[in-house]
Amino acid sequence: MNNLMTKSFLNYAELKKQALKDETTTTALDLETGRHTGADEDNLSLFFQEVSNITTEMESISNLLLDLHRLNQDSKSTHSPKLLRGMADQMDSDMANILRKANIINLQLKVLDESNTANRQISPVFAEGSAVDRTRIFVTGAVRNKLRGMMNEFQELRERVVADHREGLKRRYFAATGELPNEEVIDGMIYGNEGENLVLVGKKSGLGLEAEERRRAVEEIRRSLNKLQTIFLDMAVLVEKQGEELNDIEGHMACAKSFVSGGTGQLAEALRERKKKRKRQGFLCFCAVAAAVLLVLLVLSFVE
């Protein structure tokens, strides 16, 4: 759980450095200089700013998920109803922030996809397969891979909260009744009216209020987790779609080859035009010199 979340998401500088390194070691970004042109840098600076905004929100969600994980661990060893209610309120606040930020990221990713598509139409220099387009695709893919990892960690946390709650109910039911509950009884405690029965029985052992507070807290957490899961599933569609595009290596190579070949063809055509122009200029110079010589000869013959 902590392995992925304690690592910061790629920030603006790291993404830019990694993207430029990848591009310069695979293909020439500019036919003559081997670097991004000034127009490329201006175009990508705006793109990286958009990416930076997304990764900032993702890192914020990562920290909130860490806090949720900590609160869940602390709640397992807490028996005070007052402390449990405080933890539940904090978890509810974290969930509200995560839901808000997840919605923002979802919208930002869609805008980024639209921006990448629209950018190809601005100029032939930014067309599909160009250096700028490949950089955009590479960085967008890196962001989505990080998002995929975050969603996996979220799913683990979601399952852990539910599993811990079920295990806690088993212990408290046994402490209150002296019997081990089966899965149907546990489900009834979580989703039905069995939780009220546990509270009534638990009053005899002083566990009733704690059990009720814990049940209410986990129920609120479960509802928030379900809402967040819906948003993340929507994001997952975008992640998988982008993953399929990134895995289409043959298609990307064909686009890049087509773009480079097109640039090479244009360069060759320009060289041919330059040669033709020089030939025409040479011919005109020759004609001018010949005319001048002929004129001099005519003048000399007239003088004699």
pLDDT digits (tens, 9 = 90+) for 121-146: 888 888 888 888 888 888 888 888 88
Q: Are 150 and 61 in contact (CB under 8 A)?
A: yes
Nearest 5°: the CA angle 189, 192, 198 is 35
Output helix, strand, coil percentages for the chain, rounded to the nearest 5: 85, 0, 15
Return the SS3 of 18.
Answer: helix
Three-class DSSP labels, 79-145:
CCHHHHHHHHHHHHHHHHHHHHHHHHHHHHHHHHHHHHHHHCCCCHHHCCCCHHHHHHHHHHHHHHH
pLDDT at position 168 is 78
Which has the minimum average pLDDT: 217-226, 253-262, 270-279? 253-262
Q: What is the pLDDT confidence band of residue 198, given thresholds at 50, 70 and 90?
A: low
Q: How many Å is the Cα radius of gyration of the chain?
A: 34
C-alpha span between 235 and 141 (Å, rounded)? 13
Q: What is the pLDDT confidence band of residue 193, given thresholds at 50, 70 and 90?
A: low
Sign of CA dihedral 14, 16, 19, 24: negative
Which has the minimum average pLDDT: 23-27, 190-194, 250-254? 23-27
CA nearest 202: which of 231, 222, 227, 173?
173
pTM of the model: 0.58
Residues 6+ apart with CB under 8 A from 193: none
C-alpha span between 87 and 15 (Å, rounded)? 36
Q: Where are the alpha helices (DSSP H) in the chain?
A: 2-5, 12-24, 38-76, 81-119, 131-177, 183-191, 194-202, 208-247, 249-303
Nearest 5°: the CA angle 80, 86, 87 is 90
- What domains lie within the chain, and their CATH numbers? 2-247 (1.20.58.70)
- Name the token pair of 131: 């250096």
Mean pLDDT score across all residues of the chain: 70
pLDDT at position 256 is 45
- Name the token pair of 126: 């930014």
Calculate the CA 28 to chain-centre distance: 26
Which has the minimum average pLDDT: 8-17, 44-53, 168-177? 8-17
